[in-house]
Amino acid sequence: MNSHLHELSVLKALEALNNKEVIAYPTEAVFGVGCDPDSETAVMRLLELKQRPVEKGLILIAASFEQLKPYIDDSVLTDSQRETVFSRWPGPVTFVFPARASTPRWLTGRFDTLAVRVTDHPLVVELCQAYGKPLVSTSANLSGQEPCRNVEEVVAQFGESFPVVKGETGGRLNPSEIRDALTGELFRQG
């Protein structure tokens, strides 16, 4: 993709995020939909779009571990647990951490934990760096539909006017693996 179109795509996405809108963007395996994690309005729009109950909780995707620190309590991790997490990041592995008491319920749902990932997808890294914080991240698909794997599928499901960061997924076949940061328990195979 030519760099001018790419820059426009990212700038439009940043504008949409700042307006509490939901955007779509490529991740390691599928397109994700996301929004500002600190905006209850934006998160409720995303949940309504996905027809997803708030109780299920959400995933945050970030450019760096530093971006996740305001939302998670990593002080309870041992050096060994921390080493395990960092050995898999950046990459397509999501870890469930204890959430900070200040982390909004619209992110954690019925849990006292939060699922987070430091991505290695260059477009998402760029987007999170430009936005200055992580994004809520869930698969880009309407309830009952297959997750979108390209821009055309996003447009077909969500419409021409839906803000999409144009780019390619990382080519992985499965969504990210999800593990407990404390116990290593596997919640979802990657």
By DSSP bridging, strand 177-180 and strand 93-98 are parallel
CATH number among 3.90.870.10, 3.40.50.300, 3.80.30.20, 3.40.50.800, domain 3-188: 3.90.870.10
Residue 1: what pLDDT? 46
- Look at residue 171 in the predicted model and tell me its pLDDT: 86
By C-alpha distance, which of 133, 178, 130 is closest to 29? 178
Q: Which amino acid is at 58?
A: L
pLDDT of residue 3: 58
- Total Cβ atoms within 10 A of residue 65: 16
List, in order, residues 6 or more apart from 108 with CB less than 8 Å away.
Answer: 57, 99, 114
CB atoms within 10 A of CB 15: 12
What count of Cα atoms within 13 Å lies in the side-chain half-sphere of residue 55? 1
At residue 172, the pLDDT reads: 87
Q: Among the residues of the chain, which ranges form H helices?
A: 3-18, 40-50, 65-68, 79-88, 105-108, 122-131, 151-158
Low-confidence stretches of the chain (pLDDT < 70) are: 1-6, 8
Domain chopping of the chain, boundaries: 3-188
Distance CA 71, CA 115 (A): 10
The Cα-based distances of 127 to 25, 56, 69, 81, 100 in angstroms read 9, 25, 18, 28, 24
Q: Closest Cα partner for 19 from 2, 39, 1? A: 39
What's the pLDDT score for residue 175?
A: 79
